[in-house]
Chain A
């Protein structure tokens, strides 16, 4: 059964690898469309990651994508860079952070 966005968001704190993002203090805003449309955000601070539904007041970057595409990127089924190049995901804000995103989380 494929991961839902809720599943993914609840797994993210546990999958976070603080050594991949030393000293990072940032919020990442997710805007999903499609089957599981909605806003979520992840807050990374003091080596920990928390996720929540909603709109963050000051995200360092924003990622906009179809919810099922994002799940596939997270699980590695879809290559993030390729998806970006094909216009499947839109990015705003600090792109350095965007580049590191998938490396910061251990999936499975």
Chain B
């Protein structure tokens, strides 16, 4: 036990590699794909798939590589989540939208990883490291159910005769929904994980998740959203009309007792994913802050650290505030993922890191555009795109308000019923 902030070597290496990837394979095409919404960046997808396979990196859910022998495992501190956070930060620094279409299981695989039986994990996760790049996605949100996930209306009814689940409903805002469920020649067979109710009267207790593979009849993309930012990431509406999946596609235990275990299991995966999404948001913020400082320096504006507040120019003060925000937010992410790596319960730290990152991402990108005046507002630079990309951080994976609620419940010791 100690207090230490030395970046582990493997992470330093990763940062170096991903910087090249970010600059050469992402930023080089950022503007193109931002302006050609819904075109698919196949070069990037193929490259990442090949590279990740070559480096032995699987889907988004982190795995500890076995380093051969229990002894070596003990000596090396666990850094899988720290590594993942770094990767997400670096790639989002490149292009936040493109990062989201990095092939892999995404939140769909994360759900299988968190809630699936060993058989389900084997059946569903292997595809992400096979020959073709493959995508997974999570379907939770509906037109009438965003923050209030317990009011989803998608229904799953068991057809006992055929031993199949029949799903009906419409999901919206599914990240990578199109690439996960539509059949593309260049992609492997992906899947979506659909949250549905097996008993609406039971509320949360009746919620379960189901793996629905690409090619399942009755499942189709009905809309691709036009967005403020992260335009290269497809955000799909998916309708399920009498879509049938085998019985064992219900994640976790196949029993249908009324229990909130399933729901809580999903919420627990958010403890793991919240700091990671925060990390991605901070990558965009960092890009904006670096650009701001570069442009200021080009124009002869230096930031004098160490000077008393009364002597700082307004711009210096604002930039210093942005540095403070960015550094502290990143440390909060690091602590949260360090806790995950060391198997410490981190619901509070996880949500705090998301609150902070959502706030910081918004503030830094907005401040940078403001300070750079006419340059900040121009599409000649990527900054205005980062302003648009950053905003989603405070919205998805639990809005800043929901995460404040989660933090508040933790610090006050309140249940969901006590603090709504």
A and B interact:
yes
Partner-B contacts on A (CB < 8 A): 81, 84-87, 90-96, 99
| C-alpha gap A18/B110 in the complex (Å) | 40
What residues of chain B lie closer than 8 Å to A87, measured between beta carbons? 13, 16
- A81 and B54 form a contact (CB under 8 A): yes
Determine the residue in chain B with the shortest Cβ distance to A61.
B24
Decide yes or no: A95 and B24 within 8 Å by CB, A84-B17, A85-B16, A85-B17 being known contacts: yes
- B47 and A96 form a contact (CB under 8 A): yes
| C-alpha gap A15/B47 in the complex (Å) | 24
What residues of chain A lie closer than 8 Å to B21, measured between beta carbons? 95
Offer 18 A-B interface pairs, CB within 8 angstroms, sorted by A. Answer: A81-B54, A85-B13, A85-B14, A86-B13, A87-B13, A87-B16, A91-B20, A91-B24, A92-B24, A94-B25, A94-B43, A95-B20, A95-B24, A96-B25, A96-B47, A99-B47, A99-B50, A99-B51
- A93 and B51 form a contact (CB under 8 A): no
Chain B residues 18-50 with CB under 8 Å of chain A are 20-21, 23-25, 43, 46-47, 50
| C-alpha gap A6/B24 in the complex (Å) | 28
- A96 and B13 form a contact (CB under 8 A): no
B55 lies within 8 A of chain A by Cβ: yes
Distance between A53 CB and nearest chain B CB, rounded to angstroms: 25
Determine the residue in chain A with the shortest Cβ distance to B14.
A85
Determine the residue in chain B with the shortest Cβ distance to A84.
B17
What residues of chain A lie closer than 8 Å to B14, measured between beta carbons? 85
For chain B, which range describes its interface: under 10, 10 to 19, 20 to 34, or 35 or more residues?
10 to 19
| C-alpha gap A94/B46 in the complex (Å) | 12
Determine the residue in chain B with the shortest Cβ distance to A85.
B13
Decide yes or no: A81 and B24 within 8 Å by CB, A95-B47, A96-B47 being known contacts: no
- A93 and B50 form a contact (CB under 8 A): no
What residues of chain B lie closer than 8 Å to A96, measured between beta carbons? 25, 43, 46-47, 50
Partner-A contacts on B (CB < 8 A): 13-14, 16-17, 20-21, 23-25, 43, 46-47, 50-51, 54-55
What residues of chain B lie closer than 8 Å to A84, measured between beta carbons? 17, 20
- B13 and A90 form a contact (CB under 8 A): no
| C-alpha gap A93/B47 in the complex (Å) | 12
| C-alpha gap A86/B9 in the complex (Å) | 10
| 9 more CB-based (< 8 A) A-B contacts, given A86-B13, A95-B25, A99-B54 | A84-B20, A85-B14, A90-B20, A91-B20, A95-B51, A96-B25, A96-B46, A96-B50, A99-B50
Which 6 A-B pairs have CB atoms at the shortest separation, nearest pair first?
A: A96-B47, A85-B13, A95-B25, A85-B17, A87-B16, A95-B24
| C-alpha gap A81/B46 in the complex (Å) | 17
- B54 and A94 form a contact (CB under 8 A): no
Distance between A31 CB and nearest chain B CB, rounded to angstroms: 15
Distance between B17 CB and nearest chain A CB, rounded to angstroms: 5
What residues of chain B lie closer than 8 Å to A99, measured between beta carbons? 47, 50-51, 54
What residues of chain A lie closer than 8 Å to B46, measured between beta carbons? 96
What residues of chain A lie closer than 8 Å to B43, measured between beta carbons? 94, 96
Decide yes or no: A93 and B24 within 8 Å by CB, A84-B17, A85-B13, A99-B50 being known contacts: yes
| C-alpha gap A93/B20 in the complex (Å) | 9
What residues of chain A lie closer than 8 Å to B51, measured between beta carbons? 95, 99
Distance between A51 CB and nearest chain B CB, rounded to angstroms: 23
| C-alpha gap A39/B43 in the complex (Å) | 27
What residues of chain A lie closer than 8 Å to B23, measured between beta carbons? 92
What residues of chain A lie closer than 8 Å to B17, measured between beta carbons? 84-85
Determine the residue in chain A with the shortest Cβ distance to B51.
A99
What residues of chain A lie closer than 8 Å to B47, measured between beta carbons? 95-96, 99
Distance between B318 CB and nearest chain A CB, rounded to angstroms: 33
| C-alpha gap A81/B14 in the complex (Å) | 12
What residues of chain A lie closer than 8 Å to B24, measured between beta carbons? 91-95
| C-alpha gap A84/B46 in the complex (Å) | 19
Determine the residue in chain A with the shortest Cβ distance to B21.
A95
